[in-house]
Amino acid sequence: MDTPRSAGEPETAQDGLFGLEDLLGEPEAGGPAGPLFRDSEEARRMVSVRRIHAEPAAAASPRGRQILARYPEAELVPTDSHWRIPELHGNQGNAERWVRIKSTVLVLGEKKTLTVRPNGRSADWIAPGAANGCAMACAYCYVPRRKGYANPITVFTNIDALIHRLRRHVTAQGPKKEPNQCDPNAWVYDIGENNDCAVDALISENTADLVRAFTRWPTAKASFATKFVNPDLLLLDPRGRTRLRFSLMPAEDSRLLDIRTSPVQQRIDAAADFVEAGYEVHFNFSPVVIRPGWEQAWARLLQNMDDVLPRSVKEQAAAEVIMLTHNRDLHDVNMAWHPSAEDAIWRPGLQQAKRSENGSWNVRYRNAVKAEAVETVRRLVHTYTPWLPIRYAF
């Protein structure tokens, strides 16, 4: 078991496989020249920071100073805690300004609890996140339930401590002895449970630092899901140690529910570029929404994947199937800013209450409805994309 080291206890050679100075310095010489996507007009439409709430220590840190330098015209507002910002968290009046807050407000904080949690579904472990929140505004997203009525990106600036924690955990695990649904050989760490790492890379180097870190750990692999195609990630060198999972759903569902995300076809088309750049690319069929015609819509999506994806993607791909889970509080928020989405995802006749791991009450499809839908998706995948194994479905 990985246990914390006491304060002042020296680090031994067994504590890590490389030094943090290898990760947190300047970019390596000979890197790509030219403008980055994050400086483009498209990126500015996604993130155009005008106000930054910052804990003093976070603002003064090297990563914090880098971020503040990127947004010199933004208003800087000191805060004692990234969790307790009255004008953001728990303010129901923010629901009507949902998208504007997500795109123009940024929070800088320090991650206080660096816990590595077991998972066993998509990943073996959930890493302590380098960020929380998102600039996108998917109607079904569970993350806002933790922070109230506004959930802009919070960047954790103590990335060195986070990487150090992961390094010690990876070392303590040793080699993976038995294959499982997460991966046959490597311990998989989800680095984006409450954030989208591809969007975060528009703001800071946290995602790049994590990708680089895992290239130094031969027994481990990073993993994150994304709905955003960020070409800057292609400039990194993941060396097969980062699994990028493109989240997909039928385009008609995405246009209604995946607000401010990259178009589904763009995500599919990008898969080959990311494989060529050294990523492992999987797909999340998430969430699967039951509505009239949903089976035919998923059949069209899968047929399109089979038509356009090259062999290089198909030979290494796998998928996850995740049925929709919703939440009463999020339903109320959505009714204030995007009520049409609720026609598709709030279906009391098909759903039942479910207590989540964090103690809140969610709703999911009734057991029989869900089981039948999962079997339908499995059958569609077998029919239209027989090359695509399903790692897990729930």
> In the chain, helix, strand, coil percent, each to 5?
40, 20, 40
DSSP lists the bridge partners of residue 77 as: 53
For the chain, give the mean pLDDT. 89
pLDDT at 86: 81
137-143-144 Cα angle (round to 5): 70
Name all contacts of 272-275 with Cβ < 8 Å and 24+ positions apart: 272/309, 272/310, 272/312, 272/313, 273/231, 273/234, 274/233, 274/234, 274/244, 275/312, 275/313, 275/316
Residue with tokens 């996850």, as numbered in its chain: 320
Query: Cα separation of 183 and 128, whole Å?
Result: 20
pLDDT at 11: 35
Spatial CA neighbour of 127 closest among 217, 40, 249:
217
Query: Cα separation of 375 and 116, whole Å?
Result: 32
pLDDT digits (tens, 9 = 90+) for 102-147: 899 999 999 999 999 999 999 999 999 999 999 999 999 876 655 6
Report the 10 Å Cβ neighbour count for 126: 20
* Residue 232 confidence (pLDDT) above 50: yes
pLDDT tier for residue 358 given thresholds of 50, 70 and 90 = low
* Residue 21 confidence (pLDDT) above 60: no
* Residue 32 confidence (pLDDT) above 90: no
Spatial CA neighbour of 208 closest among 175, 169, 159, 168:
159
pTM of the model: 0.90
pLDDT at 88: 80
Among 10-14, 62-66, 283-287, 375-379, whose mean pLDDT is lowest? 10-14
Q: Give the pLDDT mean for 327-351.
A: 91
Spatial CA neighbour of 18 closest among 132, 136, 143, 168:
168
Query: Cα separation of 227 and 184, whole Å?
Result: 26
Pairing state between β 105-109 and 153-156: parallel
Report the 10 Å Cβ neighbour count for 392: 14
Q: How far is CA 201 from CA 4, 167, 206, in A?
A: 29, 21, 7
Structure tokens that stand for 164 in this block: 């150090």
Are the CB atoms for 99 and 87 separated by under 8 Å?
no
Among 23-37, 194-208, 355-369, whose mean pLDDT is lowest? 23-37
* Residue 95 confidence (pLDDT) above 60: yes
* Residue 48 confidence (pLDDT) above 50: yes
Pairing state between β 105-109 and 131-132: unpaired
Q: Give the pLDDT mean for 261-283.
A: 98
pLDDT at 92: 64
In the chain the first and final C-alpha atoms are separated, in Å, by 29
pLDDT at 317: 98
pLDDT at 89: 74
pLDDT at 359: 66
pLDDT at 99: 85
Q: Give the pLDDT mean for 191-218.
A: 97
pLDDT at 35: 82
Q: How far is CA 205 from CA 24, 58, 233, 272, in A?
A: 9, 15, 11, 24
* Residue 200 confidence (pLDDT) above 70: yes
pLDDT digits (tens, 9 = 90+) for 158-178: 999 999 999 999 999 999 999
